Chain A
């Protein structure tokens, strides 16, 4: 099952890689189908640069948004906090599992000198 999952990840990874590279190459290619040399002027080059945002400026005066940004912003914050809390929960459960294993090994006399209360910050030495 895990090998299948890995194979799927691997294949989709490189599929996206090849497809994305083709898309980027297609977008970057000059739109010149006549066989003549590219004749892009400085004005055209500036237009391409201007199509990308290069500065953020603060709003002045009352304005009404066409697409409500509030729900999008709220969703983004929810995603961030849910992912962070979910990961912390995962770390907590992993810590608890390790602590249980250490207790069990301690009871069998295999892990001497282990402090169960500080597994999270434990360091390992040989």
Chain B
């Protein structure tokens, strides 16, 4: 029988407070410590949360792929373990898509100033949009009410297809001609020390944030699935459910 076991909430509260403090430090580093960039001006400060958001997107989609692979490969595991893999997959897709939306919405605001256009079909932009659409399709598939085994398996396969796009996003600026900056890659000219400090704080803050969101969403998804299972069992044991089952000959 499925049960819902509660754990203490104080680690969660400590993590939330610590993340909020880290974001305050990161904001101070962006607007007070980091200098204004010479060519683009103040709009370059979008960079400090655009890049960590892209990193958080990678983390989310990777968690989705790992959860999906676990769900598919551990078919013989207990129900609770498979439910946990599946919950991490759903959480990863949702959180990854959130940060993908941030990347795709803040990037054009920077591009308007830097490139003079809101959008261009640059390889990195195009492949990032593609990843967002693949994982949006994953979530659309999972939102079919009470997802059955077939929907879950099909969605897991879709996530594994989608993860193949992440290396393409990462290496697109190196392999193909494009306009996207490469300041923190091996071939870039790098950042000034104060800019690097601001970027480092933001990476730390976004790492904690994406971890917290994944943790919370996966916990909620596991609980939701247990509740759905109990509801389904209650329906099956009800008089109406038994009549329906006998009419269908099941």
Q: Which residues of A contact B (CB under 8 A)?
A: 2-3, 5-6, 9-10, 12-13, 16-17, 20, 23-24, 27-28, 48-49, 51-60, 63, 65, 67, 69-70, 72-73, 75-76, 79-80, 83-84, 87, 91, 94-95, 98, 101-102, 105, 108, 110-115, 117-126
CB<8 Å pairs between A and B, sample of 26:
A13-B130, A13-B137, A16-B133, A52-B181, A52-B182, A56-B183, A57-B192, A59-B35, A65-B41, A67-B113, A69-B44, A72-B46, A72-B110, A76-B109, A76-B110, A95-B220, A105-B230, A113-B4, A114-B6, A118-B9, A119-B223, A120-B9, A123-B222, A124-B3, A124-B4, A126-B78
A2 and B234 alpha carbons, distance in the complex (Å):
26
With both chains docked as a complex, state the minimum distance between the C-beta of A50 and any C-beta of chain B, in angstroms: 11
Q: Tell me the nearest residue of chain A to B112, going by C-beta.
A: A72
- Whether A121 and B195, one on each chain, are in contact in the complex, defined by CB atoms closer than 8 angstroms, is no
**Contact residues, B133-157 vs A (CB, 8 A):** 133-134, 136-137, 140-141, 143-145
Contact of A121 among B7, B84, B234 (CB under 8 A): B7
Range of interface residues on chain B?
A: 35 or more
Is B213 in contact with A53, judged by CB distance below 8 angstroms? no
Partner of B234, one of A63, A73, A108: A108
Interchain CB contact (< 8 A) of A72 among B43, B176, B222:
B43
**Set A52, A98, A108: member contacting B223, Cβ < 8 A:** A98
Interface of A is mostly: helix
- Note all chain A residues with C-beta closer than 8 A to B233: 110
Chain B positions near chain A (C-beta within 8 angstroms):
1-9, 12, 35-47, 49-50, 53, 78-80, 83-84, 98, 101-102, 105-106, 109-110, 112-114, 116, 121, 123, 126-127, 129-130, 133-134, 136-137, 140-141, 143-145, 173, 176-183, 187-192, 194-195, 209, 213, 216-217, 219-220, 222-227, 230-231, 233-234
In the complex the two chains form, is A59's CB within 8 Å of B41's CB?
yes
Cβ 8 A contact of B80, one of A9, A48, A87, A126: A126
Residue in chain B with minimal CB distance to A64: B41
Say whether, besides A56-B191, A110-B234, A2 and B41 are in contact (CB < 8 Å). Answer: no
How distant is the Cα of A38 from the Cα of B41 in the complex, in angstroms? 39
Shortest Cβ gap from A46 to chain B (Å)? 12
Could you say which of B9, B37, B227 has the most chain A C-beta atoms within 10 Å of its C-beta?
A: B227
Q: Which residue of A lies closest to B97 (CB)?
A: A87
Q: Give the shortest distance, in Å, between B38 (CB) and chain A (any CB).
A: 5
List 9 extra interface pairs beyond A113-B4, A125-B3, CB under 8 A.
Answer: A9-B137, A16-B126, A57-B37, A58-B38, A69-B44, A98-B223, A98-B227, A112-B3, A124-B2
